[in-house]
Structure formats: C-alpha cells, structure tokens
Structure 1
Amino acid sequence: MLTNAVSTTSGPVIGAEQHGVRAFKGVPFAASRRFAKAVPPRPWTEPRRCTDYGAYAPQPGHLDHADEESCLSLNIWTPSAVDRPLPVLFWIHGGAFVTGGGADYDGTFLAAQGPAIIVTINYRLGPLGFLQLHRHGGDLNEANNLAAMDVLAALDWAHANIANFGGNPDALTLFGQSAGASMVIALATQPQARGKFCRAIAFSAPGRGITTSDHADEVADRVIAELQLESQPGAVAAMPVPQLFAAVQTVGRQLADGTEAGSLFGPVLDGAVISRDPAEAIAAGVLRDIPFWLGSCRDEMAMFLNSTPPAAMIRATERWIRTSFGDAGWEQLLACYRATTRAGEDPLEALLSDAFWHRPVADLARRQAAAGGAVWLSRFDHRPALEPFLSQGPTHGADNACLWAHVPNFVDRPILRRMGGPMTLGDIEVAARLQASVLRFIIDGIPDEASLWPKFERNAERIAIFERPFRLGRVDEGERFRVWSDLSWRVGRTGQDNKEKNAAVAG
C-alpha cells in the first residue's frame, strides 16, 4: 500500500507501507557530477514515488547497474503509527570504501522493534568518492574528500527533513560498520557534524582508517599515469567508468604492500574537510558529551586470511608489527599467541586481529574515557549459521548479519550477493540481545543496565561479549595483554632515551 505524501526540502515523496512500517527508498539527498562536490538535488513539485532502492554507487561487480550521477540517495523506515518524535539511527555502510550501499540493509525490523526511524545512505565509492585530484587543477579542484562530504550532505538532509517522517533530529545516532565506522569516527570529530548527532556507534573500525594526504596524492598521480593522462589530467572526468576502475585496480596491486592499512582509499586528513586526526580529537575531548559505543568481531581477520590471495592488510599488519617492535618482537608475540591458543583458534589470525582491529578500538575507548566521555566496548564472539561465518567463525561482518536480521531469518544482501536464511535458536538469542542493546543505546544513550554492562573506564576496562550466554570480560588482563604492554613500554622507553641523548648532544 502506498503512503500519503511526505514533504521534504526538495519535494514531496510517497513510500510503501507494509506490516506497520512505512518505507521510503531511493530518496535523493543530493546530486553530483564526477569529481565535484555534491549539491542539492533538482527540486520537484509532484509527489515522487520512492518505493524502490536508488541506483548503486559504481563499484566492482555493479558497474553496469550503477549511476554515478544519481546514486546519492537514502532510505527511510518509520513505524506507521508515530505518536511522538522517534530517535533516528543513521547508518553508514561499509565495504572497504569501494563496495556496498544502503540497499543491503533493510530497516523494517529495527524500525518496528524500536520504535525508531532507520536511515541508510549511499555515498560515492572507490575513485569517484576518494580519488584526491585537487592538485591536478582545473575542474578537479573540488575533488577532495568527496565521499566524506556526501555523508555530511546526507546528514544535513536528515537533520532538516527527518521530523516530517516522525523522527527527532536532535536524537540522531551516527552508526557505521567497517569503512562506515571509519567514516563515523572521522566525521563525528569534525566541526561540520557538531550539533547534528547526539550519539555514535562504530563497529569494526579499521585500526588505520584515516589516509594521509601524501598517500592520497600518490594514488591520484599513479592513476593519472596509468590512464596516460599526465598531459591532460582533466580528461579523467570523462573517462568511462570501467576503464577508470580498471586503472585503480592496477594501481592497487602496485601499492598494496606499501600502504599502512593495505587499501588505497579512506577519509583523507586533508586539513579542510577532515582537519584533525580523529584519535587526537577524541583524546582532546571533542566527543566528551557524546555517548560512544565501539565494537569488533572476535575473528575479524579470518575472512581476509582466507581470501585468495590473502588480503593486503595481512601483510600490512605484519609489516607494522615488525616495524614497531622488530623481528624479535614479532616472534615474541607469535610465540605468546601460540602458547595461549584456545580450542580451534588460529594464533596468527588472533594476533593480526588484535593488532589491526581490537587493540586500536580499545585505544580509542581509552582516549574517550580519559577525556571524560562515556564509552562502551563490545566484541561479537557468536558464529552465525550463515556463510561465510558458518565456516570461518565470527569474522568481519558477523555482528552485521545479526544486527540487520529480520528474526527469525537473516536477510538477503543484494549488493554483496549474499543470501539470507533461517536462524538457529542461538542466532536468535544473540541477535535479539544485540538489537535490543543498539535500540536502547539510540533511545537512552546506554546499551544496557550499568550492572550488566558498565562503561569502559580506566583501570576497569570492561568489554561486553556477545555470545551464548552474554558475558563481561576485560581487555587489560591476560598474558597477551602483558606481552603487548611490555613491548610497547620498551619501544616508548627507547624513544625517550633517544630524545634525552639527542637533547644532551644538542646542549
């Protein structure tokens, strides 16, 4: 059944109503031309039918079904009977900055359970969203953190329009997973987003999710060279999308072993759109008044180790450990993980997961807590009865599968081309707990009773473990934590000694 028209700043929209939830899909929040900042969409006067997902952002596997000029749309789910302004969950999808879209996340179930307003968005991906071409002049001067500005434009749209759909614009929670979590952390700490959200959740944020300007410039230079456009770089704006993505793939292979995160793209610390390193901003207290939930999956790296060939982030993470602590430090850590392996655990995977995912997330939690902010930490240890998790364990995205499930079923993911399926009783129990915690967080600003899940605090570094049964643990104990701490202390001590020696020589 079609809904009544709802007014927006661009024009009225009509959605579809089913099972007590209204859905508005493919609502344009901005328009764009290649390598240019997004602008408001062209307004309309007649009610626009928004019952189908909008065009995907161009990405590998979907270059033939994508539309780069009209991909900036969002989707809204709202309970049919709204008697008060409802909290808003604003979802930023993941996909390594090169894949994904809002169509993979059906908010019907969460909207009804909340009750809450669920918003999922698209933003430009790969070279169209992250290629920093501003140094190449001409019309390319605007090509600077375009994907980040897309997300900010969607946030602005939601803040201006969500009340018309029954939402409370002053009760909006930024929520992202993987690359989307990097976006949340990067943008939540910037002045442009201040006052437009009140809470934040980041699941599986990569340890090094911010890209330096130098790296972004090198990627752009190499892509231009690969396309043989050094003498006329502006021609990249007219390059066929498949050819542009093929050049990026080639450059990715060239640079894979030289990047800190094993990937080409990410939000760029450019001094303008992202003017400050997010971790430093959190330590300075920028999010002191923002309740913050940070989560990860137990076996994050399993998916990347099992890819063919293994993902570049595997080599990047090992290289970072060896650079930080030396070959002896790497061997000491690996020996520790082998000696403390639980049943069925791959010690290499556990070491890499801690280095790239778990420890950086815990460090962000420490920074938020030390600055006086409220923060909760979680880990997802449940193995969903759905591939690839059934064979690989609670690897990257396992929490996502349960969060967006329409209990008692997992949902299809059309962009990822993953099928859903029936859930086990264990899946249902863990998913229900996760969904309830997320909904409570966006409504009340806490994920659970303090006695069941206390805040993460200095000298009481509690972490919630989503498994059967739900339980609490600590990240600041155990032999693995001790070895990491000892190695970090030695590196810090060596650095301080060298500073003192240099000061003495200079004096």
Structure 2
Amino acid sequence: MTVKATRLGSIEGVDRADSMSFLAIPYAAPPTGPLRWMPPAPPASWSGTLDATKHPNRAFQAPFPPELMPKGGIPGALSEDMLYLNVHTPAADDKKRPVMVWIHGGGFTLGSANDFDPISFVEHHDVVVVCINYRLGLFGFLDLSRFGPEYAGSVSLGFQDQIAAIRWVADNIADYGGDPANITICGGSAGAGAVLSLLAAPTAKGLFHKAIAISPLEISAAAPDIITPCAAYMQMDEPVFFEHLKAMSGQELYDFQANGGIGSAACVDGTIIVKSIPEAIREQVNPVPLLVGCVLQEGNMLTAAMGDNPAIFSMIEAGLVANAGGGDAARYTAYLDKMSAGRTPADRMNQMWFDYFRAFTLRAAQGSTDGGTPAWVYTFAVPTSHEHGPTHGADVTFAFDAVGDIDEGEWRAFYQNTAENRAIAAMWSGVLVTFMRSGNPNSPALPHWPVYDAQRRSCMVLEAVPKLVDGPDSAEALAAYGLATSDA
C-alpha cells in the first residue's frame, strides 16, 4: 500500500506491478436525500488518511449479460451513493503525464468506473487514466424541469456528474503524476456519446484538451416525457407523483424503473447540452482535436443480443432511423429499404446499427473540421474468427493495449491472445497515446493520416496492416446520413 499526501489530504492507494491505483475517491457529495436530482455538490473534506484501496459503489443497474461479464464479476455494491472515481497512475510523483478520463458505456443505464482495469495501458505507455462513475437511468437522465427552475438541466445530471469529475481531475491530478494541462476525455459507445456531448456543454469549456470517441452513441434531440404517462398510470397528479418518487429509496426507485420498463434518455436539453452535437462541434463550443471512429460490423453483437424477435427489431428500428438519417427518418429509411432488400431482418438490423454509429462518427468529424478544429476518422477492422467479427466494443481491448490480459472465455475475447493481436494492440494504443500527447494521431506505425474533410473524407482502416482509404462511404450513404455530397 502507498500513502500519498495530496492537497485534499492523505490518501492510501494500492500498489500494482509497475503502477498504483487510488480507488473510490469522492469527486462530489452523495446524491441522496435532498441532493437526489440536484446538480453534483462538492464532496465533504476528509480527515486522517482516506482509504482508497477498495472499489467504489456502482450506480443502480441491471446485471450485465452473462456473455459480457468479466471473469470474477464486477466489484462494487449497487448504491445511490456512487459519485466516485478511480485513479490509475505509474507513480504519484511530480511528473506531468498525459491524462485520460475514461467515461464508461452501457447505454446510460449500465456500467461503472470498475468495469475495466486500464493498468496495462498505464504501465506500457506512462500515462494516467481516471475512470469515473456518473448517475444512470432515472437518477441521471430524467426531465423534471416542469417542477421548478431548480430542476433545469435535470435530464443531464449524468453529464453534469461527468463535468464535475473532469473538473476534479483538472484541479487534483497533479498530485497523482498527471498533467492538468493535458487531459483527454475518452469513452466507448454511450461513453463516446458522452464525450461528443461534452463538446456541446459550455460548462465543460477549458477542462479538457483532446477527445477520443470510440463508436459514439448519439443522444436524443429532445427529452422524452416520462412524467405524464407514469403519473397517469399511477393515477396521481404530476406533483403528487413527483413527491412519491422522491420518497422512494434508491433501490425502490430503480425497481420502479426496471419493473415498469421505464426509459430515460440522454438528450439535447438546451441547458447543459446546448444544441445538436454536430452543430455545437461546428460552432466550436468546446474546440479540441477529435479522434473518432467505429467498428466494421457494429451491429453483429447488438443484433444477436435481441434474439429473433420482430417486435424488438421494429421497436429498435423506430428509435434509430431518425438518428442514422441526421433527423430525416424518411430519407434514411428509403436508403435502408434499398440496402436491405431481399435480406433477412437480422441483416437489415445489422445495416442499421452500422449506419447509426458511422453516420454520427462522420457528422461529428465533419462538424469539427468545418469549424476549424482537426478531426481524424478510423474504422476498426482487425480480422477475428469470433462469430460476431470486429463488432461493437471489440476494439476496446486494443485501444487499451490489453490483449495480453485476455483469458479464454472473457467477454473481451472477441480476439485471441496471440502475438499478432498483441502487436496490433501495442501499435493502436500507442497511436492513441500519440494523440493524447500531441493532439495528432500520426505515427510512424501508420500511413500518413490526413484530417477528415468533406472533399477527401480520409479514413484509417485498422486491419492487420493499417491502410488509409479515401472516400470509403458511397455518395448514396452520405446523403442518407445527412451529409453534403456535392463536394464528396
């Protein structure tokens, strides 16, 4: 164990092979009691030595699907008291290392700071990684603005938590061997959607300096009305229903959400996330260099998880087509119908999942470069014998140089722990670190990688041997995605 004196007080962490971890550091007060559905408040100070040797609580959530559960499970109890972060560092010294803040995925309803151990990445590349918790589901993404001005932005409390955590990092990471002037925010899936959403959050301005979005999920254009139908179902007036929700325990509130199938949605709320993400990026709300990409077969695992259920397929399709089409569902649906003619429903769903992630990737990148800030686009296509292929989430192990940590049967084993895959992971994670250090991913390990723009539309395809491809998306696909094609 290591005890470190910091500006907040003495803290005890865990010694690793060539690094150390400080777990469950509070970055905000517990959002319980009167602080439920309130913006994150400053944490209480501590006296003596803070025990940072055990994983923090996790937000209330459903169990991970068995095929996605790491061996040994995920540590941390489920609790409403979960605004903590984990710092992983080569050394808590005075060296100013690049810092990554990892925002977990899980559709804004699953996940935690404990899901992934980035220690290989930390030790191999001499960087600091901070993994953060944030409120999920009805706790973090429920629109309560009708109940008073104090609830403005309530539908973005999860984003407010992320901003508070990044602010803590900016204020304190120098105590843990990190450089507060070189912070990269990075996430996968919903976490990548959060990364791009924070580019549209004025209150996050200046807190981070680069952004990496791995298969970004696009947030909704507006908040859904959860209160009206739920209050009607409970046969309560809306203010009475709200008091009923406030009186519930955290477990009861989560059970109410889970048993009723009640959704929540991260969205453009006009208060925290001020406008559509591509528009905000184009207007340079938070202008930072951007690295963004998706996987060759995004939908294979996601579609398989739905089973052979036409009703679920139809429900998911209704929620995806507008996003894939940049707000024009009819335009994209016409393209989807043409692309999926004569194919199975699963093939159609796979096409739609890929388009969903690819379209948002390209709109974000083009918005960035149109606005004057460089962005680079990639496609992860490393071959694998896994039945799902290079699918959603399969690239995270490569991004964190963790292929050598894979045990057979783990959810990350979309790929085998082979010398070839370890070499690709070392190369690709090194590219991400090059971007973290300099704001440019170009590396001797890659062909020259131009900034993405609407004329050339360059994309780095990560295969066994990386290659640069100009204009891989057809003019028809770009039009369906809502991207200009006259100059493509």
TM-score (norm 2): 0.84
The yes-or-no answer on 1:375 pairing with 2:375 is yes
Structure-2 residue corresponding to 1:423: 417
Alignment CA distance shift 1:15-1:334 (3 Å)? same
Within the candidate set 184, 202, 215, 1:204 is matched to 215
- Per-residue CA deviations over 1:119-142 (Å, capped at 9, x if unaligned) read 000001111111112323598677
Asked if structure 2 preserves the Cα contact closer than 8 Å seen for 1:26 and 1:74, the reply is: yes
Q: Does 1:409 align with 2:405?
A: yes
The equivalent of 1:51 in structure 2 is: 53
Rounded Cα–Cα distance in structure 1 between residues aligned with 2:254 and 2:394: 28
Q: Which residue of 1 aligns with 2:67?
A: none
Number of the residue aligned with 2:358: 358
Amino acid at match of 1:356: Y
Indicate whether 1:484 and 2:483 are aligned. Answer: no
Report the more deviating stretch, 483-492 or 323-332: 483-492
Q: What do residues 414-469 of structure 1 show as CA deviations (whole Å, max 9, x unaligned)?
A: xxx94769612332132222211111111121212385322213322111112212
What amino acid is aligned across from residue 301 of structure 1 in structure 2?
A: G
What is the Cα deviation at residue 393 of structure 1?
Answer: 1.3
Change (3 A) 1:138 1:430: same
Q: Which runs of 5+ in 1 are unaligned?
A: 254-263, 339-345, 494-507
The match for 1:238 is 247
Query: In structure 2, which of residues 215, 223, 226 is the aligned counterpart of residue 219 of structure 1?
Result: 226
SS of 1:99 mapped into structure 2? coil
Q: Which residue of 2 aligns with 1:313?
A: 316
**C-alpha contact (below 8 Å) 1:404/1:411 kept by paired residues:** no
Label 1:305 to 1:85 Cα distance change in 2 as closer, same or farther (>3 A).
same
SS in 2 for 1:102: coil
- In the alignment, the residues of structure 1 paired with residue 352 and residue 228 of structure 2 have an alpha-carbon distance, to the nearest angstrom, of 31
Which residue pairs with 2:278 in the alignment?
Answer: 279
1:249 positional shift:
3.9
Native 8 Å contact 1:211 1:265 kept in 2: no
Aligned-partner SS, 2:56: coil
Alignment match of 1:67 (pick from 73, 76, 79): 79
For 2:54, the aligned partner's letter is D
Q: Which residue of 2 aligns with 1:435?
A: 429
Pairwise CA RMSD: 3.3
Relative to structure 1, the CA distance from residue 359 to residue 232 in structure 2 (aligned partners, 3 Å threshold; closer, same or farther) is closer
| Identical positions, percent | 25
Task: Return the offset for 1:411.
Answer: 7.1
- Paired position in structure 1 for 2:390: 394
Aligned counterpart in structure 1 of residue 459 of structure 2, from 445, 463, 466: 463
Alignment match of 2:132 (pick from 121, 128, 153): 121
**Alpha-carbon spacing, 1:131–1:485, altered in 2? closer, same or farther (3 Å):** closer
Cross-structure match for 2:289: 291
User: How far apart are 1:301 and its partner, in Å?
Assistant: 1.3
**Which residue identity is paired with 2:44?**
R
Amino acid in the other structure paired with 1:452? H
Find the counterpart in structure 1 of residue 90 from structure 2. 79
- 1:246 to 1:492, Cα distance in 2 relative to 1, 3 A: farther
SS of 1:268's equivalent in the other structure is coil
Deviations 1:275-331 (A, max 9, x none): 22221111223354x211011111111122112345643443357769423865443
Does 2:106 match 1:95? yes
Which secondary structure does the structure 1 equivalent of 2:114 belong to? helix
Deviation at 1:242, TM superposition (A): 4.5
The alpha carbon displacement at 1:265 in A equals 3.4
CA contact (8 A) 1:140 1:234 kept: no
Higher share in helix: 1
C-alpha distance 83-128 of structure 1, shift in aligned 2 (>3 A) = closer
What TM-score do the two structures reach when normalised by structure 1? 0.81
Aligned match of 2:115: 104
- In structure 1, what is the equivalent of residue 43 of structure 2? 41
Q: CA deviation at 1:26?
A: 0.9
Instruction: Answer yes or no: is the 8 Å Cα contact 1:226–1:247 preserved in 2.
Output: no
